[in-house]
Amino acid sequence: MAESQGAPAQGSAEAAASPEQKAQMEQAYAQMRRKMRMTQLDEEIKHKVMVLSGKGGVGKSTVSVGLALSLARQGKKVGLMDIDITGPNVPKMLGIEDADLHVEDGQIFPAIGPHGLKVISMAFLIEDPDKPVIWRGPIKLGAIQQFIGDVAWGELDALIIDFPPGTSDEPLTVSQALPGIDGVVIVTTPQDVALLDSRKSINFAKTISLPCLGVVENMSGYTIRGSAEPDSTISVIGPTGTPIEAQTDSDGAWSLTLDVFKSGGGAAAATELEVPFLGALPFDPGIVRGGDDGVHRIIAEPDGPTAAAFDAVVTNVLAELDGSNRPSVRIS
């Protein structure tokens, strides 16, 4: 009867909707599509790890790139997402800042770095790298959500996510938008204040209900080498002004590791805060050169001590992820 009284026939509900209702429907569809993509992302990406620090400049981006490269050179399928929208420097560190992102069917295809590493960074979307990008909060967070929902990562063993310093909106937004994040790796430097910064980051992980996979101490000791009389003792003045002695071997070679920024702050922070210590990365001027030249230390010196230190950290991270190390600390 209703039909004979002029009610809209089935299928024409959309036609009868007001522009406002149409916009609402479109928004609901878009949200549904994004939700489906997020679920798919969770299934396709085995492990998702966020790299955070309480303080800027401690080496988060260097460590994120290093962890990703170390995993990728083991033959794993790895993605690296650079969430630092105002100062994205991951592509430069990998020498792929001129890469163009490929977009197809509304999906963004990542740039490809060394060892097949898939990279997404806001840097690819910025026309003039010298111009500061000023994003107001909601626009920035919207861009991040889009980043997450619209990237065609494909199947990955691991996705490493690099953040700007601090525990601001970005990690919160990512943790809400991306399901199934395994946990947080905290990067710190060796000084005593590291404890304070690490505590902040661990508390932040707690507030967003993510496990802390552990602490990495970056810019740990700096190793110097030389040669002198075989089987003798040499002495150098250390960073604190006191002499440090080393023995030469039968060929006259000696090496000494100097604690430029002290050492052990990361391990102490991990012990005190009862989270795993994932290892120390040496202070290596080659890392600075590599960051500027776009050739990460792992690529420039794959058999060197810095690459080995990254591999050791990755072994510990994987053990935490697989639960084969000490039980992962889930802070609730």
Ligand X SMILES: Nc1ncnc2c1ncn2[C@@H]1O[C@H](COP(=O)(O)OP(=O)(O)OP(=O)(O)O)[C@@H](O)[C@H]1O
Are the C-beta atoms of 156 and 118 separated by less than 8 Å?
yes
- One symbol per residue from 81 to 100: x for binding ligand X (CB under 6 A), - otherwise; what is it? ---x--x-x-----------
Closer to ligand X by Cβ: residue 197 or 320:
197
Nearer to Mg ion, 58 or 317 (CB): 58
Out of 38, 101, 126, 165, point to the residue binding ligand X (CB under 6 A). 165
Between 172 and 295, CB nearer to ligand X: 295
Count of CA atoms in the C-beta half-sphere (13 A) of 123:
24
180: partner contacted, choices ligand X, Mg ion, none (Cβ within 5-8 A by kind): none
d(CA 223, CA 309): 13
Among residues 61 and 201, whose Cβ is nearest to Mg ion? Answer: 61
Residues 6+ apart with CB under 8 A from 209: 331, 332
Q: Which of 182, 161, 145 is nearest to 51 (CA)?
A: 161
Tokens of 287: 């890392």
Q: Residue 287 binds what, of ligand X, Mg ion, none (CB under 5 to 8 Å, by partner type)?
A: ligand X
Report which of 303, 315, 299 is spatially closest to residue 95, judged by C-alpha positions. Answer: 299
Query: Which of 88, 110, 149, 164 is close enough to bind ligand X by CB under 6 A?
Result: 164
Q: What are the structure tokens assigned to 135, written together?
A: 């994003």
Query: Per CB under 6 A, does 57 bind ligand X?
Result: yes
The smaller minimum CB distance to Mg ion, of residues 3 and 130, is found at: 130
Give whichever of 196 and 288 is closer to ligand X, judged by the CB atom: 288
- Looking at the chain, how many residues does it have? 332
Crossing angle of the two packed helices 305-322 and 60-73, in degrees rounded to 10: 80
Residue 64 contacts Mg ion per CB under 5 A: no
**258-290 exposure pattern, b = at least 16 Cβ within 10 A, e = fewer:** bbebebbbbbbbbeebebbbbbbbbbbebbeeb
Cβ-based nearer residue to ligand X, 149 or 162:
162
The correct pick among 219, 313, 318, 321 for binding ligand X (CB under 6 A) is 219
- Cα-Cα end-to-end distance for the chain: 58
Could you list the beta-strand ranges (E) of 98-148: 102-104, 107-109, 111-112, 118-121
Q: Is 77 in the site for ligand X (CB under 6 A)?
A: no
Q: Measured from the CB atom, is 87 or 238 closer to ligand X?
A: 87
Q: Which of 61, 201, 218, 316 binds Mg ion (CB under 5 A)?
A: 61
Q: Which residues in the 254-283 window bind ligand X by CB under 6 A?
A: 281, 283
Stretch of residues binding ligand X (CB under 6 A), selected from 60-68, 110-118, 236-244, 267-275 = 60-68
- Shortest distance in whole angstroms from residue 73 CB to Mg ion: 22
Among 47, 54, 62, 76, binds ligand X (CB under 6 A): 62
56 binds, among Mg ion, ligand X, none (CB under 5 to 8 A by kind): ligand X
Tokens of 274: 């009862």
Query: Which DSSP string corresponds to 60-77?
Result: HHHHHHHHHHHHHHTT--
Which residues contact Mg ion (rule: CB under 5 A)? 60-61
Which residues contact ligand X (rule: CB under 6 A)? 53, 56-62, 84, 87, 89, 164-165, 218-219, 281, 283-284, 287-288, 291
